[in-house]
Chains A and B, each alone.
Chain A
Amino acid sequence: MKKVGFIVNPIAGMGGKVALKGTDGENIVEKAKELGAEQESPQKAEMALESLKTELKEADQIKLITFPHLMGEELLKKSGLNYQVIGSIEKNNTTAEDTKRAARLMKEEHKVDLLLFAGGDGTARDVYDALELEVPALGIPAGVKIHSAVYATTPQNAGIIAARFIKGQISATEEAEVMDIDEKEFRKGRVTAKLYGYLKVPVERRLRQNLKSGSADSEERAAEAIAAGIIEVMEKDCLYLVGPGTTTRPIMQKLNLDYSLLGVDAVANKELIGLDLREADILQLLKKYSKAKIIVTAIGGQGYIFGRGNQQFSEKVLNKVGKKNIIVAATRNKLSALNGPLLIDTPDPSLNKELAGYYKVVIGHQDFMMQKAE
């Protein structure tokens, strides 16, 4: 019998309708409640459970492992699904720590085959802290902010994917980005998104956010072809600043170099010059090298190439390197899934304008796609 972890962050999504842009931090939850916010996350998690049950047909194929009260127990009690409650929480209050603790227990003691969680970016971060890449996980979209690529397109689809994964109809998984933005900044109108890491997520052709077709395997191969193409034309004595992401990672792997998946690394003459660089480090290197190129990919499935998840490429860095030295890499599937232009969102509007326009995006070995950036 397969085991599925089930965690609901009941306060996720409360800020949305009262325009609070997220509920990370206890004061905000109080404020949301004062403004009349209702819990929406449990409703969405319930929709996911319903479709899970329908898709499974025989509900006894699985056992759901959950946390008490609103973190899952109450929904499962109504669902008719087979479940077990573990751990303990304060009845009317849940925190990020509870999510992390639940995920960790489910991974270590109950060895779940899949963790299904309802929430937003903050919840995905908590789950990531506990799981990393060890256990497959899938998000039920219920939060205000969803910048992470670990969520299904709808709660119903989350249930369908989970069921298909359990039944073995989907076997492949892939690494999907866990992103979060700084809510304090966000409330002031500034989006500063950070790439926190990757969760292992079941690959379903069309039911997960921003992924329309292709398998995990073909995505990996496409990223390898991109890397081969970029390495082949690397120029002598040119500094290459390799941005974060699974698309750029094979460049470092093929060069047999260490890399920081979430940070910016520097390469010159196929040697590692710097790992996980800060803006100041990059500016230092730019003084040293007369030629420099930036290699970036769109992060988080929304198409941002600058300004989200790679702020190390600051305005100063970008001004110094210049548009013609920017290499954008993305697999054909990811690019097609954007349904819109690539996005640039640095704090400097005139720089954004300067960097806008068409890019010859590397999509494979000697293979390019003209893509507009705005």
Chain B
Amino acid sequence: MGKTIFRENFHQADWDEPIIYEMSTPGVRGILVPEPDQKIKDRAGDVLAKIPASLRRKEEPNLPEVSQKHVLMHWTHLAQETMGSNLTNDISEGTCTMKYNPRINEELVENTDFSLLHPEQSEETVQGILEIYSEFENIVKEVSGLDKATLQPGGGNHAVYTAASIVRKYWEEKGELEQRDEIITTIFSHPCDAATPKTAGFKVITLQPDEQGLPDIEALKEAVSERTAAIFMTNPEDIGLYNPKVDKFVEIVHEVGGLCFYDQANANAFLGVARAKEAGFDMCHFNVHKTFGTPHGGSGPGNGAFCCKQKLAKYLPVPTVEHDGDKYYPDYDRPHSIGKVRDFYGTAGVIVRAYAWVMAMGEEGLRETADISVINNNYLYRNLVEEVKGLSYCYPDNGLIRQEQVRYTWKELTDDTGVDTLAIERRIADYGIQHYWTSHEPWLIPEPMTLEPCESYSKDDLDEYIKVLKRIAEEAYQDPEMVKNAPHKAASRKRKDDNMLDDPERWALTWRAYQKKKDKIHAD
């Protein structure tokens, strides 16, 4: 963008779009499949009879019957009612690191030399993609300083779960799993740092913040014992504070024999500045979509690049990508491996995009990414706090420099006007910006808002955001009821009952569930 844009007259399309099942007319078809030739029929025989009876449907599926034209209209309308990524000013999504995803990388993965590859092709014919895997592994090894990497996990949480599985395997092989049954994490770490160890069967102990907002090191000293299997921690934490004592945390856990996992999902603040190795960690991971410029999956394909020290390398999931001096090959012959975490090679398209992104940025570019992210964030938060009435941020004046994101608090504005953070995040949609991220629950910072302007945003983007929040704060003081009932110009509406999502009887994710629950859903 060349100048600051303030979309005062924004209005989103509102198509009053029905659910596709409500558009259904019996007998209407999108595609009329022609009858097969008699020859084919004769050759194939009774196809249905060849499907085992247990797999055959007894009745036809209940699918919407809609023409192609109406399906296309329907999805286009829905697309116009969203505020997806690369569409608006995505600074809103703090902790998500919404970067620009270069279009040229989409071209690369659409190239048929890549897109027509089949995962069961012989090794000799897929040397190119294996080389890209190997090269990108080398990149994440360099960025983390650790010895060995895998690109198998299909996303950030999956990589953290891989870490938890490796911890379990490590203690199992040492014969100490029964005793080492506790994993420690911190409350401002990503929630998967608690959830995935739990899924892997560990007890989880969470540390609270100290007065400075950093994880309480005294609590860690009390928490560690001969039961400690590992610590899983994020840094900078979710509130944007970098823990300068992170190496001390690692030391304390190592002293009792525990392993240390560094959640670097978002490594934007320290690319080329600090590494997991120097802080003493045994393992780490990167969310490729947060740090290396690939699109956010939205539950679609993602990738979590996992790195570890040599002593844990034998536990990595299969296959690892190896080179025998002559050619690359996927290595399945790893007896200590935790096994497979993903089919075939994982999400190859994401790796191609990430590799292309890093190669385009270069070593200096990665470092510049960190610098710009931190500068952008510091510009944004200082201006917001100075200019926006009723807005402050967590742990002010604690002597720590803010890194790539900040958790703000609207408490003062809420106390003054009754307008809470949920109303403000709805109102922001009326200015053509998607709702912002508040915080993980429970809210330790009252009325939270978390913003993250990474390196993709220009000063004009930041100024647009500041201008919009300043306007909304003014509106809250002048006309609180209007803000409370926002959005007014967006496709979505305010929920009637804030608590309705807590009651599974009052919402539905599928048409079938909706049919069962609709009386309760519409009861109010």
Contact = CB atoms under 8 A, between A and B. Distances in A.
Q: Is chain B a partner of chain A in the same complex?
A: yes
Interface of A: 51, 156, 160, 164, 168-172, 203-206, 212-218, 332-333, 336-337, 357-358, 360, 363, 366-372
Given A212-B442, A358-B218, A205 B498 contact: yes
B208 interface: yes
Given A171-B499, A336-B444, A357 B205 contact: no
B301 interface: no
- Please provide the 9 A-B residue pairs with the shortest distance between their CB atoms, ordered closest to farther: A215-B502, A370-B219, A358-B222, A336-B442, A366-B203, A368-B205, A213-B442, A369-B206, A333-B442
Most chain-A CB neighbours within 10 Å: which of B198, B216, B442, B443?
B442
A89 to B, nearest CB: 34
Contact of B498 (A51, A169, A333): A169
A206 B447 CA distance: 9
Given A169-B499, A360-B205, 7 more contacts: A169-B496, A172-B499, A172-B503, A206-B447, A367-B206, A370-B222, A371-B208
B397 interface: no
Nearest to A372: B219
B524 interface: yes
A207 B444 CA distance: 15
Contacts of A51: 418
Contact of B206 (A172, A204, A368): A368
Interface string B434-463: 000000011110110000000000000000
B198 A367 contact: yes
Nearest to A368: B205
B375 interface: no
B524 A360 contact: no
Interface string B363-407: 000000000000000000000000000000000000000000000
Contacts of B444: 336
B491 interface: no
A367 B203 contact: yes
Interface string B183-220: 00001000000100010001111111000000010111
B418 A156 contact: yes
B499 A212 contact: no
A370 B219 CA distance: 6
A206 B446 contact: yes
B420 interface: yes
A363 B203 CA distance: 11
B198 A366 contact: yes
B502 A172 contact: yes
Determine the interface band of chain B, counting residues with CB < 8 A from chain A: 20 to 34
27 contacts: A156-B418, A164-B498, A171-B497, A171-B500, A171-B503, A204-B498, A205-B499, A206-B447, A212-B442, A214-B441, A215-B499, A216-B502, A218-B502, A332-B442, A336-B442, A337-B442, A358-B222, A360-B223, A366-B203, A367-B206, A368-B204, A368-B205, A369-B187, A369-B208, A370-B205, A371-B208, A372-B216
A169 B219 contact: no
A51 B207 CA distance: 39
B204 A366 contact: yes
Contacts of B502: 172, 215-218
B183 to A, nearest CB: 10
Majority SS at the chain A contact face = mixed
A314 B521 CA distance: 51
Contacts of A205: 498-499
A212 B443 contact: yes
Given A217-B502, A333-B442, A358-B219, A168 B497 contact: yes
Nearest to B503: A217
Contacts of A171: 497, 499-500, 503
Contacts of A371: 208
A370 B215 CA distance: 11
Given A213-B442, A333-B442, A357-B222, A367 B499 contact: no
Interface string B138-165: 0000000000000000000000000000
A172 B506 CA distance: 13
Contacts of B207: 370
A214 B447 CA distance: 14
Given A358-B218, A358-B222, A160 B497 contact: no
B143 to A, nearest CB: 32
Interface string B463-501: 000000000000000000000000000000000111110
B206 A370 contact: yes
B371 to A, nearest CB: 35
A123 to B, nearest CB: 25
Contacts of B497: 168-171
Given A360-B223, A370-B222, A372-B219, A213 B499 contact: no
Contact of B208 (A215, A357, A370): A370
Given A160-B418, A358-B218, A370 B223 contact: yes
B218 A367 contact: no
Nearest to B222: A358
A357 to B, nearest CB: 7
A217 B499 CA distance: 10
A145 B204 CA distance: 38
